[in-house]
Structure 1
Amino acid sequence: MKILIIEDETELSDVIRESLEMEHFLVESAEDYRSALDKIISFHYDCILLDIMLPGGSGLDLLQELKDLDKSDNVIIISAKDSLDDKLKGLNLGADDYLTKPFHIAELTARVKSVLRRKSFEGKNFIELSNLKLDAGERTLQIDNQPIPLNRKEFDILMYMIVNKSRLVNKTALAEHVWGDHMDEADDYEFIYSQIKNLRKKLKENNAGVEIQAVYGIGYKLVQL
């Protein structure tokens, strides 16, 4: 799961990042309106933590931009402004939650997980497909009730494929989602191919009821067998 922190207070942003990374989220950040706009236009995020008061513009304008782009990124507003008008504007523009500063990092992390469960896992901690059970909180996979060890990237890829099970997943979108900004440092997609290869092998060896199929030149699709 990929999180974007849009926050100009560097110290707070670093604390939030550290906390979320301990929960195995992939975390990116932006400190002003322009850099945040560039990121939300270019990438998809599972959850955006959005401050309203930013250098160069308003977080509410970024919410409007997400709405205009018809993007489905979950948004939690984190703001020092505790006004009813701002809350209503944010929620009406599509924000999923509103948290007023100062707040406990543990509460923010819990709200992030709650938003992700509501959107991707229908309020549950896990998702089931065929004979697979993926636990988002514990980051574990079971096939026919037997635990299957996955590394961090394999788990992220499988969860992304399951959440998007009815879609053809473009390899660029997959790379951006699982590796974030670091994908720009790669010369090719070999780092994806190796993780996909290992994951497909584990699924096949354990008689999974799903298969990740390659669509030549485009990406991958998860199909039930």
Structure 2
Amino acid sequence: MKILIVEDEEDLLDAITSSLLKEYFLIESASDYHTAMDKIQMYDYDCILLDIMLPGGSGLQLLEQLKQSEKSENVIIISAKDSLDDKLKGLELGADDYLTKPFHIAELNARIKAVLRRKKLDGKHTIETRNVVLDLNERQLLVNGEAVALNRKEFDILNYFLLNTNRLVTKSALAEHVWGDNIDQADNLDFIYYQIKNLRKKLQQANAAIEIESVYGVGYKMVEK
């Protein structure tokens, strides 16, 4: 997944970049209007983080260009300008979300992942891989058409893995996604191991054509058998 960060505040740009690199995203950045314009005209991105106030121009002008190029989906505006007019203008031009500075990086990460989930699902309410179907509305797992009982956390974990198939998922990223910001209060992440262990067992017993591999010392990866 490739993300473009359009932000002229160096410290904030560094903080966002550092956080997203830990999630194994590919990151490009632009700190002024003209550099950002060149990048959005030349490349496609899975998500764009867009500041409104930029040297040389306005982020809203960039958003207008993105809309004309039919690339305005998956844009999150990040700006100190919190006026209602700017927010409405950005959303009218196709932005998916609007986050006012200052904000917590964890909140930005959560919003990015929400945007990417919507993009991947493309309006559908099921995720289908090989003989596995995960119904997000009914919160139900089907393997070969047969229902497999999952608890709430197992469902959320499987959902996250299926949206990141063949992609390394760190333990900390998984914990933050499934358990939220309160994960910082946990003494360790051993509880993730037990949830993964139970989920693996259920997938294996149901003869699912997917499995969760361990990546020693880092996390996990969902792969097709």
TM-score band, normalised by shorter chain? 0.5 to 0.7
SS at match of 2:94: coil
TM-score calculated relative to the size of structure 1: 0.61
Checking the alignment, whether the CA contact within 8 Å between 1:126 and 1:137 is kept in structure 2 is: no
| Residues 128-139 of structure 1 mapped to structure 2, 5 A cutoff | 128-131=128-131, 135-136=162-163, 139=167
Q: Which residue of 1 aligns with 2:114?
A: 114
Distance 1:2 1:79, change over 3 A: same
Tell me, in whole angstroms, the C-alpha distance in 2 between the residues paired with 1:60 and 1:105.
22
Tell me, in whole angstroms, the C-alpha distance in 2 between the residues paired with 1:146 and 1:78.
37
Distance 1:110 1:126, change over 3 A: farther
1:121 to partner: Cα distance:
2.6
Give the percent of matched residue pairs that are identical in Structure 1 and Structure 2: 62
Distance 1:72 1:83, change over 3 A: closer
The answer to whether residue 173 in structure 2 is matched with residue 146 in structure 1 is no
Q: Which 5+ residue runs of structure 1 have no aligned equivalent?
A: 156-201, 207-225
Alignment deviations for residues 100-145 of structure 1 (CA, whole Å, 9 cap, x no partner): 0000000000000011111213589994233478523583699613
1:70 to partner: Cα distance:
1.6
Tell me, in whole angstroms, the C-alpha distance in 2 between the residues paired with 1:100 and 1:123.
27
What one-letter code is carried by the residue in structure 1 that aligns with 2:163?
A: A
Q: Which residue of 1 aligns with 2:24?
A: 24
Checking the alignment, whether the CA contact within 8 Å between 1:52 and 1:78 is kept in structure 2 is: yes
Q: Which residue of 2 aligns with 1:97?
A: 97
What one-letter code is carried by the residue in structure 2 that aligns with 1:147?
A: I
CA RMSD in angstroms, aligned pairs only: 3.0
Distance 1:72 1:126, change over 3 A: farther
Q: Which residue of 1 aligns with 2:5?
A: 5
Which structure has the larger Rg over C-alpha atoms? 2
What one-letter code is carried by the residue in structure 1 that aligns with 2:162?
A: D
SS at match of 2:34: helix
SS at match of 2:102: coil
Checking the alignment, whether the CA contact within 8 Å between 1:117 and 1:124 is kept in structure 2 is: no
- Matched length: 155
The higher relative CO (CA closer than 8 Å, separation ≥ 6) is in 1
Tell me, in whole angstroms, the C-alpha distance in 2 between the residues paired with 1:21 and 1:14.
10
Tell me, in whole angstroms, the C-alpha distance in 1 between the residues paired with 2:125 and 2:102.
27
Tell me, in whole angstroms, the C-alpha distance in 1 between the residues paired with 2:5 and 2:75.
10
Q: Which residue of 2 aligns with 1:85?
A: 85
Q: Which 5+ residue runs of structure 2 have no aligned equivalent?
A: 134-160, 170-202, 216-220
